Structure 1
């Protein structure tokens, strides 16, 4: 089975794939406990080779679920197959960037640290100061690392570079990921068709939130839910509808940062109306991710932008309090400049190796990443051990109760994964028919979606200058949305920033990097 074919069918694990999981990848893995007739156990006339001592690896990573027990069945098997002993510090995802910055400032780095963005200013500064290994000479032409080369996402190794050198290891993720969730049962309740445009979307929300859909008599249902600033994960999705995911250049040929484009200002004006109509959450600028998740999962919100795979999980959660609940991801909706479809970066930041790690250990870390960047390990990461974490139903693995508990999204955090565009669509706890339909419904995203440019390109000037203005800009944008200032005042403020000499210089640097990564800038 070649890599291309495995990508197409990895979500549909058959008995053959299960055997593949046990047999391991080209780098060699340990057989699963309880495996019977496995060639790895046959010695023939050769002496059995004693396994080497497990490699100890120290990580600092974000946590998107409950902190796992590294001695449970899943993690015990993972460490057995990879011949490692993992020392992982799990930081709640909402607090991770703060912790990341503090660790960099302290200089007390773990062996491997995750950055959720390859362009984070503190990361780029640390790279310049020599905090991390330049991996370019280790990786070379990738002849020793074919899995890292062939099973990584499109163009990701370009994104791992700073000043032309590779410093990071990718965290491969699908490009079809985020979508606008909506309570389909409430659309049906008020005989509203599925919105096809953002105007229809706004009208549907206005009708629902003004009608006490949960029947609690309080009229307190949130229309559009977000977390952080502005909607955090949801910004790019809505910005796509206004054409803000396209490269926008100033009169001097500089590439304008997306938040300061006329398109983003147009989106701010649209959210201003939604706020005035009681659709956008009144606390939109202060809600934390965990709070937002709780609000949606308990049936107190209509719409929320998050990973598509969460639809099934949250639908089951909401059914506990609202039995008729049905959660869907809306199809890409048309706006004045495009569609509500943002493709995710094919890498969610990167993993960086501290320069304090000895050279020999760097090679061990790269060997671990090479060994695990396969569909076999990615499938194991998604479903765990057959008969323990999942059972195969209608040709598709379904997580058991233990699987739901142990095989969480946190399992993704300690290796690169193999690129697979269906991973954030499929829900391993959902029935096969549900997943099949979800894949079919979301194929359109790959056709209409666009990539956010600034997840991959950087400017030294922007890195040093923007922190001086960021909080002020956020405050002005918030004031514009809640009508504490006029849109003309906000636009004048943005114009002032765009005419700042340092910011204009940053735009020139963005244009240069854009050309390097994406071709001609014009």
Structure 2
């Protein structure tokens, strides 16, 4: 992959970067341009950032973006640790930036403001911005509110972004085993990783599977339910109607499978209290052999381990086969959206759309994500090869526009060519069979009021059953109660009503 040892493959962070400019004959034409006159277009923006420090106002790539787009960008950078709080305060104040990133577009406050006309409805305008219109259909659908697009999707790839089991492939090799293709084979691998000294230190000090769970869902153990139900998430489309997976046989079978694994010591004993950082540490310190995450961290953690163990290797499974066939998860295509408040005049709103439209071109996206071609990176065999100079950027260069690369979750800083190609092939395999969550963005007023309480009670019982504190029959009694609970059933009815509206029925 690399012609020079100084070249590296730069991480393509999930959907974060951007640029606007008017292009000429390169195939990156912007449908509408901000350069309608010689006056600088000043745009006030609020966004989060994931680099150690906020991007610099004086960064040469940002300056080039402003030059090309004839803009002056006033950006308020907010740490992701408190971006939700800052968002709520900003929206409540009424003093909304001209372009604002909303990470949770379906919270009740956002829906209410959209219904009240607080944001521009972009739906009828998108036809004039061909690069934005070219975003994946899922990105627009999964960020729509009542069938309308009040924001520009913060795009992210459809594949490689969701959690699937990641295994210590070097442990598999040590034990002469192949990557598992179904849950029976997965169970056998978990047993071997627990009982057969896969790290070769002569001690019985490893566990097959480690995980985290959330207060209201199964977290990184959800894949077991998903494989057995042949579905991604809590709701499944069956003949145009959403079915609650809580009542499906696969969910019950997942509890039985996990209960057995826990009883036999194949699942980390303290999984309900673990944090993601602790899970990763248990992998890199040879304490556990399987965890669940997106594709991107596979090289990050492998690279860390290879400092001490050159054979270390992490492999994400592209699928697992269950009763319904092969399962792989498909992402939503977005991680929030960008809104333009109605207080922005129509002419200015269109200039902002032109700004974002350029960021959806390859030229604009590449500049924002990777820097200057020939200086920070070159392209070879469909891969981005980066120079030492690119290492100066510890995060996304300009996190306003997103990467449009299908394989952006395959990349990680310093990834070797063979590892990258394998990650890319995993994405290709996922793309053939992946299924998405049909309920993303749907609304239920009843769920908004009481749904989280039901979810927490459900999750609490699941953990008790896995621990052996409650029998599986307790699940049968609980779900029977939910079927008879009018309030719970109203949630399903409201989600289905909204689902029909989305489908135009």
TM-score range, shorter chain: 0.7 to 0.9
Aligned length: 476
Question: Once the 2 structures are TM-superposed, how far is the Cα of residue 501 of structure 1 from its aligned partner?
Answer: 1.6
Name the structure 1 match of 2:180: 195
Name the structure 1 match of 2:352: 365
Name the structure 2 match of 1:170: 153
Question: Once the 2 structures are TM-superposed, how far is the Cα of residue 462 of structure 1 from its aligned partner?
Answer: 2.1
Name the structure 1 match of 2:469: 484
Q: Contact 1:254–1:508 at 8 Å: present in 2 too?
A: no
Q: Note the alpha carbon deviations across 1:431-479, whole angstroms, 9 max, x for none.
A: 4444334323432212221111122433233223313433333322222
- List 4+ stretches of structure 1 deviating above 6 A: 20-24
Q: Contact 2:165–2:316 at 8 Å: present in 1 too?
A: yes
1:56 match: secondary structure: strand
Name the structure 1 match of 2:126: 142
Name the structure 2 match of 1:398: 385
1:453 match: secondary structure: coil
Q: Contact 1:205–1:279 at 8 Å: present in 2 too?
A: yes
- RMSD value over aligned CA atoms? 3.9
Alignment of 1:28-177 (within 5 A): 52-53=39-40, 55-61=42-48, 63-70=49-56, 71-82=58-69, 83-92=71-80, 97=84, 100=87, 109-128=96-115, 132-136=118-122, 139-149=123-133, 151-177=134-160
Tell me: CA distance 1:22–1:383, structure 2 relative to 1, closer, same or farther (3 Å): farther
Distance 1:169 1:481 in 2: 42
Question: Once the 2 structures are TM-superposed, how far is the Cα of residue 122 of structure 1 from its aligned partner?
Answer: 4.6
Name the structure 1 match of 2:7: none
Distance 2:495 2:237 in 1: 10
Tell me: CA distance 1:327–1:478, structure 2 relative to 1, closer, same or farther (3 Å): same
Q: 2:452 aligns with which of 441, 446, 467?
A: 467
Q: 2:191 aligns with which of 186, 206, 216?
A: 206
Distance 2:116 2:83 in 1: 22
Question: Once the 2 structures are TM-superposed, how far is the Cα of residue 217 of structure 1 from its aligned partner?
Answer: 4.7
Which residues of structure 2 form unaligned runs of 5+? Answer: 1-11, 13-22
Distance 2:360 2:284 in 1: 33
Distance 1:382 1:116 in 2: 20
Tell me: CA distance 1:331–1:468, structure 2 relative to 1, closer, same or farther (3 Å): closer
Name the structure 1 match of 2:6: none
Question: Once the 2 structures are TM-superposed, how far is the Cα of residue 200 of structure 1 from its aligned partner?
Answer: 0.9
Q: Contact 1:240–1:450 at 8 Å: present in 2 too?
A: no
Name the structure 1 match of 2:20: none
Question: Once the 2 structures are TM-superposed, how far is the Cα of residue 133 of structure 1 from its aligned partner?
Answer: 0.3
Q: Contact 1:392–1:398 at 8 Å: present in 2 too?
A: yes
Name the structure 2 match of 1:225: 211
1:304 match: secondary structure: strand
Which residues of structure 1 form unaligned runs of 5+? Answer: 1-10, 12-19, 31-48
Higher relative contact order (CA 8 A, sep 6+): 2
Distance 2:456 2:101 in 1: 25
1:424 match: secondary structure: coil
Tell me: CA distance 1:114–1:473, structure 2 relative to 1, closer, same or farther (3 Å): farther
2:79 match: secondary structure: strand
Name the structure 1 match of 2:330: 343
Tell me: CA distance 1:460–1:235, structure 2 relative to 1, closer, same or farther (3 Å): same
Q: What is the TM-score with the length of structure 2 in the denominator?
A: 0.80
Q: Contact 1:298–1:321 at 8 Å: present in 2 too?
A: no
